[in-house]
């Protein structure tokens, strides 16, 4: 056994290149955008059908309808009852996942590759021919109302929802919870759901992504067969307000008497997915709060023990989603934690990140990229994003080069452009009696205590 010098940091070996899986792109006859990536690690396949049917399309009075429509797909089809549909899917080992976001709805599943025929047929049937039985729609609605109630009583989700209301104006969809409110969801019935699907579940601007151990030609002809006769485009995108609700820094305490911890959100309106500063912001945010060794986490967790963890992120959407710091901290140290978080944001924007920090962040973001592309489901989600945000076909093939091209000046400029410390809204869900006086003493801005709307 050769003695080794443990003080010596091991040199990396020879780099093995990572290539994003090659993607075949076809347009099938009804206009649906088909993308197929062949991945052969295991005999599995992921299917992801995307339609441009998101919550942003809805005004406040109809908030939550896109989510409800997606959830109600499991209620049954023209050919199968809800139970029969579930039995058929689960009989081939697949569970249908329906995810609705601000931009659109994804209907997806993963199963063994030799079951792709049946899987794609069932997925297409569920998405294209839903029958929306009245009682199934009502059940989905009542479950959604229960979920809205749950969000009001879970301090973490309550904090996020309350913060969004402080960042955006009331008329903006981004000001409200994705799943809507009791007022907007309670009156929804079968006709609204059917009308929404009829209008928005359309092939144009949508897409089908297939990833896994498949033959591209076979997928193409299968897709032609499954989606034949499905036609049309959804209504054009609606203009939405993304103006900040205020330009004044303010602090809000949502009272949860005797809470042992405070859920904290600090943020404001951020940047759109199409921002030319996307990569610079991603790097900058890594320095601030996007990794374990980011400034916020090393301060609030590893130096001060205020929290189990803290993160910052930009929610890049078609229109600017929030920039936000999230953490949960002990009640007695809440004001200290808020002070430190704001201090870290201010210092980063005023002085900019260091060369060393930007280099480390670039290496991290570029390095972990392949780690997040191991499964067919992960690659399918990334490819669906190309469709949602209209990104170029070679986007992921060039992703790491673009990360590595971010300079310290790019990162600093992006920070100054998109993070405005003087406009941050601070939302604390916690014990107002303990937290509010200490927040007042920070003198960061006006503090207002609002009723906990937990019940």
Partner 1 sequence: MSLHVPIRRHTLDNGLRVVLSRDTTVPVVAVNLWYGVGSRNEPPGRTGFAHLFEHMMFQGSEHVPKNRHFELVERAGGSVNATTWFDRTNYFETVPSHHLELALWLESDRMGWMLPAMDQDKLDNQRDVVKNERRQRYDNQPYGDWDERLHALVYPESHPYHHSVIGSMDDLDRATLDDVADFFRTFYVPNNAVLTLCGDFDEDRALELVARYFSEIPSRGPIPDIPGDAEVDPVIGRTVREHVRSSVPLPRVIMAARIPTFADPSFPVAEVTAAVLGTGKASRLYRRLVRERKVATDVVTYAFPLLTGASMLFLWATGYPGSEPQELEDALAGELNALARAGDDEVRRAVTLTETHLVRSIERVGDRADLLSMFALYFDEPERLNEEIDRLRAVTVADVRSFSARYFGPDNRAVLTYEPEVAT
- Can you spell out the DSSP letters for 69-118? HHHHGGGBBSSSBHHHHHHHHHHTT---EEEE-SS-EEEEEEEEGGGHHH
CB of 30 to partner 1, least distance (A): 29
Contacts of 86 (CB under 8 A, 6+ apart): 74, 96
* Site membership for partner 1, residue 29 (CB under 8 A): no
CA-nearest of 206, 200, 239 to 223 is 206
CB of 249 to partner 1, least distance (A): 26
User: Which is closer to partner 1, CB of 184 or CB of 334?
Assistant: 334
As a whole number of angstroms, the distance between CA 184 and CA 63 comes to 6
* Site membership for partner 1, residue 83 (CB under 8 A): yes
Q: In angstroms, what CA-CA distances link 401 with 47, 209, 316, 362, 367? A: 28, 25, 20, 10, 11
Residue 427 exposed, middle or buried by CB count within 10 Å (0-12, 13-18, 19+) = buried
* Site membership for partner 1, residue 401 (CB under 8 A): no
Out of 22, 25, 59, 93, the only residue in the binding site for partner 1 (CB under 8 A) is: 93
Out of 79, 235, 308, 354, the only residue in the binding site for partner 1 (CB under 8 A) is: 308
If phi over 0 gives left and psi between -120 and 50 gives alpha, with beta otherwise, what is residue 443? left
Token digits of residue 368? 């972990």
Out of 189, 367, 422, 437, the only residue in the binding site for partner 1 (CB under 8 A) is: 367
Token digits of residue 121? 């047929």
Stretch that binds partner 1, among 197-205, 214-222, 256-264, 277-285 (CB under 8 A): 256-264
Q: Which residue has the tokens 């009791």?
A: 182
* Site membership for partner 1, residue 303 (CB under 8 A): yes
CB of 231 to partner 1, least distance (A): 29
* Site membership for partner 1, residue 341 (CB under 8 A): no
Stretch that binds partner 1, among 232-240, 274-282, 300-308, 404-412 (CB under 8 A): 300-308
Token digits of residue 298? 């090393």
Angle between helices 65-72 and 134-153 (to 10 degrees): 130
* Site membership for partner 1, residue 305 (CB under 8 A): yes
Stretch that binds partner 1, among 12-20, 22-30, 381-389, 438-446 (CB under 8 A): 12-20
User: Which is closer to partner 1, CB of 374 or CB of 409?
Assistant: 374
- Which of positions 137-176 make contact with partner 1 (CB under 8 A)? 139, 142-143, 146-147, 149-150, 152-156
Out of 29, 42, 221, 243, the only residue in the binding site for partner 1 (CB under 8 A) is: 42
CB of 214 to partner 1, least distance (A): 15
As a whole number of angstroms, the distance between CA 397 and CA 2 comes to 42
For partner 1 (CB under 8 A), the number of binding residues is: 85
CB of 169 to partner 1, least distance (A): 28
As a whole number of angstroms, the distance between CA 39 and CA 213 comes to 5
Contact of 271 with 314, CB cutoff 8 Å: yes
CB of 450 to partner 1, least distance (A): 18
* Site membership for partner 1, residue 22 (CB under 8 A): no
Stretch that binds partner 1, among 163-171, 224-232, 269-277, 304-312 (CB under 8 A): 304-312
């Amino acid at each position: 056994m050769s003695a080794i010098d443990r003080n010596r940091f091991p040199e990396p070996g020879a780099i093995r290149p990572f290539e994003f899986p090659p993607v075949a792109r076809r347009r099938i006859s009804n206009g649906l955008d088909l993308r197929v990536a062949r991945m052969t690690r295991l005999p599995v396949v992921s299917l992801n059908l995307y339609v441009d049917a998101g919550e942003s399309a809805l005004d406040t009075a109809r908030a939550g309808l896109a989510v409800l429509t997606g959830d109600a797909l499991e209620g049954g089809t023209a050919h199968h009852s809800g139970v029969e549909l579930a039995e058929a899917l689960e009989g081939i080992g697949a569970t249908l996942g329906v995810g609705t976001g601000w931009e659109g709805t994804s209907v997806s599943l993963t199963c063994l590759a030799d079951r792709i025929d049946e899987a794609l047929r069932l997925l297409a049937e569920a998405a294209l021919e839903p029958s929306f039985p009245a009682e199934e729609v009502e059940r989905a609605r009542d479950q959604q109302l229960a979920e809205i109630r749950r969000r009001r009583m879970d301090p973490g989700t309550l904090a996020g929802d309350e913060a969004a209301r402080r960042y955006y104006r009331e008329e903006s969809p981004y000001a409200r919870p994705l799943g809507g409110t009791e007022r907007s969801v309670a009156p929804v019935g079968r006709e609204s759901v059917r009308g929404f699907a009829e209008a928005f579940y359309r092939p144009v601007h949508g897409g089908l992504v297939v990833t896994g151990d498949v033959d591209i030609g076979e997928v193409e002809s299968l897709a032609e067969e499954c989606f034949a006769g499905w036609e049309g485009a959804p209504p054009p995108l609606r203009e939405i307000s993304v103006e900040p609700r205020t330009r004044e820094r303010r602090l809000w305490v949502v009272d949860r008497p005797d809470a042992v911890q405070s859920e904290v959100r600090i943020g404001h309106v951020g940047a759109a997915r199409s921002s030319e500063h996307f990569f610079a912001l991603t790097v900058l945010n890594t320095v601030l709060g996007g990794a374990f060794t980011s400034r916020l986490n090393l301060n609030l967790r590893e130096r001060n023990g205020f929290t189990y963890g803290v993160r910052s992120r930009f929610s890049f959407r078609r229109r600017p989603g929030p920039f936000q710091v999230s953490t949960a901290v002990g009640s007695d140290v809440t004001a200290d934690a808020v002070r430190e978080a704001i201090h870290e944001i201010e210092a980063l924007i005023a002085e900019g990140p260091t060369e060393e920090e930007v280099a480390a962040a670039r290496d991290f973001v570029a390095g972990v990229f392949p780690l997040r592309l191991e499964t067919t489901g992960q690659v399918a989600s990334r490819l669906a994003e190309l469709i949602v945000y209209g990104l170029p076909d070679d986007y992921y093939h060039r992703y790491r080069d673009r990360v590595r091209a971010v300079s310290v000046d790019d990162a600093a400029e992006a920070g100054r452009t998109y993070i405005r410390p003087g406009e941050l809204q601070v939302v604390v869900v916690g014990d107002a009696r303990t937290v509010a006086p200490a927040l007042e003493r920070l003198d960061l801005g006006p503090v207002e205590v609002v009723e906990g709307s937990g019940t």
